[in-house]
Structure 1
Amino acid sequence: MKIHGEWEITVVRNVLVRTTAGIFNDEGTLAVFEETKNKAPTDQAWAGLTNAERWEMSTASSLQMFPGMREWAFANNCQGLAIVVPSALKKKIHQQQTGQYPSDKVAYFSDMESACDWLTQKGFPICVDEYPHREFLEKSRHHSHE
């Protein structure tokens, strides 16, 4: 099967920054998780920052893969995940489908600045200016229908 969905993953110090765009199928979701596992700095405490502002949803079966990925992350030194989803509807679907985690572990934000502030307060300093995927966001703008 062809991979559906686009993403970019970069580690900034000990923050794994992931940006997603488009509609994801199971193959796309598995490929993102594989790259995440390969890039995560699991030899130290780390945190995740996911920018899903260009994410156009995922298939129901691929959303059901998220809890397993989060369990892997938390079992491998991840101290928290900040997820940026500006759309209230997408945020609700994402939260309902991807497992219930306490808000000190998995937190949702409507903008990048709030997510960066939360991570910084948790001891993983990162600021909006360090966000590495601006070019990818521009390129993936054609996905966004908002």
Structure 2
Amino acid sequence: MKIHGDWEITVIRQILVRSTAGIFNEEGTLAVFKETQEKAPTLLPWAGLTNAENWEMSGANSLQMIRGMRIWAFENNCVCLALVLSNSLKQKIHQQQTNGINDPRIAYFSKLKDACAWLSERGFPITEDEYPHRAFLERTRPNNS
């Protein structure tokens, strides 16, 4: 099947920065997971920053697969994950479907600057100005034509 979903992944120091957009199917989710495994700086403790403000949801199976991604990350030196989702409904659905509730290593934010501050407080300094995927966000914004 064809991959649905769009993403970019960049590593800044020990932070894997991932941006996602569109509607993901299982193939898209698996492709992101594969690239995450290839790029994650697993030799030392690392953190994840996922900016999903242009993410337009995923099917239930894709969301369930994210649990496996998290298990892999935490088993491979990941210390914490910050996720940016555009609204509280998407945050709630994502938390429930991916088992992200009540895990102190996972935090949800509606603003990138707040996610950056949270990661910085945990020893993974990053600023909003360092975010590398601004062109990606602009290109994938749902209102773009």
Q: Which category of TM-score, normalised to the shorter sequence, fits these structures? A: over 0.9
Matched residues in 1 for 2:101 and 2:36: separation? Answer: 19
Aligned to 2:38: 38
What percentage of aligned pairs have identical amino acids? 65
Matched residues in 1 for 2:4 and 2:48: separation? Answer: 22
- Report the aligned-residue RMSD: 1.2
Aligned to 2:53: 53
Matched position secondary structure for 1:65: helix
User: Does 2:116 match 1:116?
Assistant: yes
Matched residues in 2 for 1:120 and 1:137: separation? Answer: 22
Q: Amino acid of the residue matched to residue 34 of structure 1? A: K
Q: Amino acid of the residue matched to residue 33 of structure 2? A: F
TM-score (norm 2): 0.96
Runs of 4+ in 1 over 3 A off after TM superposition: 100-103
Count of aligned pairs: 144
Q: Deviations over 1:65-122 (max 9, x none)?
A: 0111100000000000000012111111101100145442000001000000000000
TM-score (norm 1): 0.95
Cα offset, 1:144, TM superposition: 4.8
Q: Deviations over 1:1-50 (max 9, x none)?
A: 00000000000100000000000000000000000000000000000000
Matched residues in 1 for 2:74 and 2:143: separation? Answer: 31
Structure 2 matches for 1:1-146, cutoff 5 A? Answer: 1-141=1-141, 143-144=142-143
Q: Amino acid of the residue matched to residue 68 of structure 1? A: G
Cα offset, 1:56, TM superposition: 0.1
Matched residues in 2 for 1:4 and 1:111: separation? Answer: 25
C-alpha distance 44-73 of structure 1, shift in aligned 2 (>3 A): same
